[in-house]
Structure 1
Amino acid sequence: MTRTRPLTPFELAHFDRNSQLGNVPKAEVWLYIGSEVRGEIDLDVLRLVLAELAAGHALLRSVVLGEGSDLRFEMREDYQPPLEVRDGGEDEYRKVVNTEQDWRGGLFKGYVIRGEDSSRVVIVAHHGICDGRSMFPLLGELWERYSAHLAGSPLPLSDSDLELPDGVDAQLANTVAEAEVDAFVGQLAAMTQATDMAMPAPAQLPLDGDGVGDPRGRFTLQSIELNPEDSAAVVEAARAHGFSVNSLISGAALMAVRGEIEADAAPAMMLIGHCADVRSELSPPIGGETLLNCVGGVPTPVFVSADADPSELAKMVEVGVRGGIDARFPALILRALSRGLDPVAAGMPAILPTLGLSNVGRLQAYPIPAELELVRNFVYAMGPGMPPAMTFYTIGDRLTIQVEYDTAEHSHAKMARVTEALREQLRALCGIAA
């Protein structure tokens, strides 16, 4: 049984700032996910549920030992995830997501943040061991177990994750041949040289932050929460245009950001860094119930003029993302980066995107117990040096789009304009209500 193992290069990049892979800083980022509810939370039951989650997922009950780039996971069967209870509502939640967590004490914990009218139940895990595709199911499991305890019929402990899974980059070595990686690295080098000669750097949102950030919390978001009717309208509009919801939102997002870029009306090269799940590339494939960070990426360059048609931009995104996935770009880049790139080939992955975009997809509504009333679900992950990002997900029949940013670099006022511009683009594209 695998009870301890070294971190892979991909995992090291999330724990050691000197081991950065690719264009977006990953070290010391935590993933916060939870539900805001009305009603009384049974803290004793919640503590028990957190322990059950750790018992069923090896990485949740592990610690990281070692120094620098010599780090290893060690599984600890007696790990009890801490549960912090705080008062303060939204402001306190912002403090939590801006707190520098001590990952050497453990990689998983919980919070209950009590406000005047509602409470937030938050679970937190280091992004080096999880992604949105595995944390959303974990939140669903939390509520299933919590509800079962309240009903007097506790669920049995899971025995599906008794040992440490290998890092995704190590698992990809079983399905991605070294010859494929060699050819891919050659293509990267050629693309880097061609880009240096012919293509401008991606346009970026101008910096208007004060370098320090909002004292209430440097990292924050603004969100668009659609009702079921408008959520369905987004899906129908995408189908009517013949592309995915991911592409539709990407086209709208490009126009929303383009309005803030200091350039003339001529096309500006903008780069979306699309998150892509590589679980299906593994052998055997793993599902979202296996807690592991399996996020690769597809860089999608699009030239955007000030008066571009967002539906045409969406079509370009559709072609770019589909081409990248068909070419196995997310799996190949993970293998190439973990193996190591020469300076020429490393030039292309080092380009900072204009915008990060993460599509978690559609998920079933969570089984919130009858004693509680659901207000909303939420997720957040942001760290220093990360570009503005948009995360969107549909839980049950409600679509949520989050605009996430660092206030040290980008002001609330500017990102509010981006959020409202995105809302207006969706109204025009999908006919949703104001």
Structure 2
Amino acid sequence: MATKRPLTPFELAHFDRRYQLTDMSKAEVALHIGTTVRGAVDLDILRRVLAELAAGHALLRATVVRDTADDLHFELLEGYQPPLEVREGGAEEYWRLINSPHDWSDGLFKVIVLREGDIHQIVLVAHHGICDGRSMFPLVGEMWERYGAHLAGSPLPPSDSDHDLVDGVDAQLAASVTDAEVDAFLGQLAAIAQASGPDAPAPLRLPVAGDGVEDALGRFRVQYIELSPAETGAVIATARAAGFSVNSLLTGMALTALRPELDGGAEPAMLLAAIASDLRAELVPPLTGSTVLNCVGGVLVPLFAGTGADPIELGMMVEAGVKGAVDARFSALLLRALTRGLDPVAAGLPTVLPTMSVSNIGLIPEYPVPVQLELVRNFVFGMGVGHSPVATIYTIGDRLTIQVGYDTVEHSHEQIGRITEALREQLRRVYGVPAAMS
């Protein structure tokens, strides 16, 4: 079993700004994910569960070491016990946590429990260089499954999901994306750039509305829209009736909500949606979602919209753009090109940040939270300095959640609040009943 391997170029970009692959830096971003419950949490059981998670998922027990040639490697720490820290506090303490730098020198995975009365917020914290939302949501489910088994006196056997150290997604793509395909892809990019010319329209960005000084609790914040099962069902039914995915519908709605905040007048103008994609299916053999690894790719969908845009029409445009990108294997080809040393400017790729980023984790089985505990909220957060607002979407069981994350140095609570309220209004028009927002 391999216990050490070098970081791939894609992974290096998440650990060191010198290796970033695009204008949007991903270095030193942490993922914070977990569950808020009401009731007594057995911390001793939770510690045992965390050790089991690390034993069954290689990168959760990894650290980053630098060799004599100054190259970075992952090295496994056998018997690693992820740190568990308990802090007093609720919502404000969570904002402080997601805004705090993390020391990764002794490990890349830990847990913080925020306690306020009988409310416990269990926050799994992992370096984004080793994981993504698609692997961390199942990990939270596994945590609760193992916790419940210990509580019942019947611990689960060790996991063999990814006990061995797998290679980075960009290295694995080499088995399914050839150099000839990358060369052809670069040729297409060059042709598009040449045909577009220097006068091609640039996508609009949300105007900077912050004062350049972060919120007292930290620069990153989140606003939530949480739907009931009935509301979630109505959104799914609307997307099916329109003939496209829930992701396309919600992206169209988010862009419709955002459009009045953009400069450029009421007439149609170019927007650019950056939509996260999961590269697991592109790998040979494909990886399961339970394998903890960062496999996030992305597609860029340009579209034109005025202030009176219809979300269904925008959703259709998003669906067509995503389908075309998937059929062309855009995300896999782009990542291979970038890690091979592609110069984005020379290739004619957009060098501006997108109007909005959308990350839809999709449908996740309901977490097996023990009956002794009451579920309050599920959550996830991970973004970097200067990123465009990020709409993170996930459906756990029969409840859909939309989180709008933002950088308060760039965008004020009031500005993002208007956008979130406009998105809630878009949802009201879909199913005719209000969605809860907090």
Tell me the distance in 2 between the aligned counterparts of 1:352 and 1:200: 14
Tell me the distance in 2 between the aligned counterparts of 1:69 and 1:384: 27
Question: Residue in 2 aligned with 1:376?
Answer: 377
The reply on whether 1:34 has 2:25 as its aligned counterpart is: no
Question: Residue in 2 aligned with 1:255?
Answer: 256
* Displacement after TM superposition at 1:201 (Å): 1.6
Question: Residue in 1 aligned with 2:192?
Answer: 191
Describe the shift of the 1:90–1:137 C-alpha distance in structure 2 as closer, same or farther (beyond 3 A): same
Describe the shift of the 1:52–1:321 C-alpha distance in structure 2 as closer, same or farther (beyond 3 A): same
Work out whether residues 300 and 317 of structure 1, in 8 Å CA contact, stay in contact via their aligned partners in 2.
yes
* Displacement after TM superposition at 1:196 (Å): 4.3
SS in 2 for 1:365: coil
Tell me the distance in 2 between the aligned counterparts of 1:58 and 1:129: 10
Tell me the distance in 1 between the aligned counterparts of 2:271 and 2:192: 17
SS in 1 for 2:241: helix
Question: Residue in 1 aligned with 2:218?
Answer: 217
SS in 2 for 1:105: coil
CA RMSD of aligned residues (A): 1.4
Question: Residue in 2 aligned with 1:9?
Answer: 9
The reply on whether 1:24 has 2:24 as its aligned counterpart is: yes
Describe the shift of the 1:349–1:72 C-alpha distance in structure 2 as closer, same or farther (beyond 3 A): farther
Which runs of 5 or more structure 1 residues have no equivalent in the other structure?
A: none
Deviations, residues 359-418 of structure 1 (Å, cap 9, x unaligned): 100111011012111111111101112111100000010000011100011000000000
* Displacement after TM superposition at 1:286 (Å): 0.7
Work out whether residues 19 and 69 of structure 1, in 8 Å CA contact, stay in contact via their aligned partners in 2.
no
Question: Residue in 2 aligned with 1:299?
Answer: 300
Q: How many residues align?
A: 434
Question: Residue in 2 aligned with 1:312?
Answer: 313
Tell me the distance in 1 between the aligned counterparts of 2:361 and 2:157: 28
State the one-letter code of the partner of 1:14.
H
Question: Residue in 2 aligned with 1:65?
Answer: 65
Tell me the distance in 2 between the aligned counterparts of 1:315 and 1:112: 42
State the one-letter code of the partner of 2:411.
H
The reply on whether 1:47 has 2:47 as its aligned counterpart is: yes
* Displacement after TM superposition at 1:172 (Å): 0.3
Question: Residue in 2 aligned with 1:134?
Answer: 135
* Displacement after TM superposition at 1:202 (Å): 1.1
Tell me the distance in 2 between the aligned counterparts of 1:169 and 1:141: 27
Tell me the distance in 2 between the aligned counterparts of 1:337 and 1:296: 11
Tell me the distance in 1 between the aligned counterparts of 2:53 and 2:329: 33
Describe the shift of the 1:164–1:62 C-alpha distance in structure 2 as closer, same or farther (beyond 3 A): same
Tell me the distance in 1 between the aligned counterparts of 2:344 and 2:357: 24
State the one-letter code of the partner of 1:51.
A
Tell me the distance in 2 between the aligned counterparts of 1:329 and 1:342: 16
How is 1:273-422 mapped onto 2 (pairs within 5 angstroms)? 273-342=274-343, 344-348=345-349, 350-422=351-423
Work out whether residues 37 and 373 of structure 1, in 8 Å CA contact, stay in contact via their aligned partners in 2.
yes
Tell me the distance in 2 between the aligned counterparts of 1:266 and 1:69: 53
* Displacement after TM superposition at 1:283 (Å): 0.6
Work out whether residues 161 and 290 of structure 2, in 8 Å CA contact, stay in contact via their aligned partners in 1.
no
Deviations, residues 9-47 of structure 1 (Å, cap 9, x unaligned): 100010001111124211010001000000011111111
* Displacement after TM superposition at 1:112 (Å): 0.7
* Displacement after TM superposition at 1:267 (Å): 1.0
- Compute the TM-score of the two structures, normalised by the length of structure 1: 0.97
Work out whether residues 226 and 400 of structure 1, in 8 Å CA contact, stay in contact via their aligned partners in 2.
yes
Which runs of 5 or more structure 2 residues have no equivalent in the other structure?
A: none
Work out whether residues 89 and 116 of structure 1, in 8 Å CA contact, stay in contact via their aligned partners in 2.
no
How is 1:105-120 mapped onto 2 (pairs within 5 angstroms)? 105-120=106-121
Work out whether residues 233 and 431 of structure 1, in 8 Å CA contact, stay in contact via their aligned partners in 2.
no
Higher deviation after alignment, 50-59 or 259-268 = 259-268
Question: Residue in 2 aligned with 1:87?
Answer: 88
* Displacement after TM superposition at 1:56 (Å): 0.4
Tell me the distance in 2 between the aligned counterparts of 1:75 and 1:230: 44
SS in 2 for 1:197: coil
Describe the shift of the 1:402–1:160 C-alpha distance in structure 2 as closer, same or farther (beyond 3 A): closer
